[in-house]
Amino acid sequence: MTRPGPPRPELTDHARQRMAKRGITEEQIYVALAREQRRTPGEPGTIWIHGTVPGDDDYRGSRTLKVCVTADRTRIITAAWRGSEESTP
């Protein structure tokens, strides 16, 4: 029997708005969190998790998605593609 992993963080309304604007899917968010490469500090009480996401028809290879989560990883604040002009909250 396999042990269940931690619960998925909840997406805030702000995160959903930013995802829609930036062409990021919910599936990509959770893949990036599962494929964490590194962490960087965010605003107080938050961290940025940088994870890889497989490419798609528009982008070959893998891409890095930055996901801002609360320090306890219960809520997703925002997300952005690494290197995009809109990579800030």
User: How confident is the model over 1-12, as pLDDT tens digits?
Assistant: 555 667 889 999
Question: Domain coordinates of the chain in residue numbers?
Answer: 10-81
Other CB atoms within 10 A of residue 8 CB: 13
* 1: DSSP letter: -
The per-residue DSSP string of 54-83 comes to EEETTEEEEEEEEEEEETTSSEEEEEEETT
Other CB atoms within 10 A of residue 67 CB: 25
User: How confident is the model over 39-81, as pLDDT tens digits?
Assistant: 999 999 999 999 999 876 666 678 999 999 999 999 999 999 9
Give the predicted TM-score (pTM) of the model.
0.82
